[in-house]
Homo-oligomer: A and B are copies of this chain.
Amino acid sequence: MNLKDFVLEGHRTFMPNVAVDCAVFGFHNNELKILLLKWKYIKGWSLPGGYMKHTEDAELAARRLLKERTGLDNIFLQQHHTFSGITRAKLSAQNLKMFDKILGVDVPADNWLHARTVAIGYYALVEYSKVAPQPDSFTESCEWRNIEDIPPLMFDHDEMVTRALKTLRLQLSHQPVGLNLLPLKFTIGELQSLYETLLGQPLDRGNFRKKMLSTGILKKTGERPTGKAHKTPHLYSFNKKAYAESFKSGISFP
């Protein structure tokens, strides 16, 4: 669907008023990353997102959007908050002027994109190395940014990131995290580093190790990474069955 069709005929495919926005988190080089889009004409940054199709619920829409942006299926997704501030409407109007220029036709005042939009916020956890960031026709780039180094975002997306992180940290305290963010094989040190990054505080090495091993969600692979200096740690993977059980029944951390 090209831009003109989207603006003028999009209401046949998409539901007006309701959009989905995703905070996609990855973990690389011991740093938490987030996937951001840079828009073509207005030059702003935003989270990946879009309208829901008439045939989709919000989660399915999020999965479609994320498949397009990352190439991945079966992403870990969690709804965190729905944003409905009345100022969201004004931002839409601003964008519409832009469409007028680009399309070279007047967009009618009752166009579906003029409507105020409520955004259902999701966060996604993905394995950094498996993502192939793909911009769409509206955006000039789609890239990972360090969570500590995010440019000012459009709309209320700064608040979305804050809330997504807050919900993720809450999840961390009563459910395991890591299966979706780490590669298949990883060291306990890497897992600890992930937890430290998400919590924003250092953790005791010995105690973290003890705690994690006691949950039974880790499985020793027998392998060790090569080429690293000093003693190399064991590589672990998640015991998916035990992980799923812990996820369901809940574990407290710390």
Name A residues whose Cβ lies closer than 8 Å to a Cβ of B.
15-18, 52, 54-59, 79, 81-82, 84-86, 115-116, 118, 120, 170, 173-174, 252
Contact = CB atoms under 8 A, between A and B. Distances in A.
Given A116-B54, A118-B118, A118-B120, A84 B18 contact: yes
What number of copies of this chain does the assembly contain? Answer: 2
Contact of A81 (B56, B79, B84, B115): B79
A15 to B, nearest CB: 6
A82 B120 contact: yes
Nearest to A18: B118
Contacts of A173: 174
A52 B84 contact: yes
Given A57-B85, A58-B84, 18 more contacts: A15-B17, A15-B116, A15-B118, A16-B17, A17-B17, A18-B18, A18-B84, A18-B118, A52-B84, A54-B86, A56-B86, A57-B84, A57-B86, A58-B82, A59-B84, A79-B82, A82-B82, A252-B252
A145 to B, nearest CB: 27
A118 to B, nearest CB: 5
Contacts of A118: 15, 18, 58, 118, 120
A224 to B, nearest CB: 37
A118 B18 CA distance: 8
Nearest to A84: B58
Contacts of A81: 79
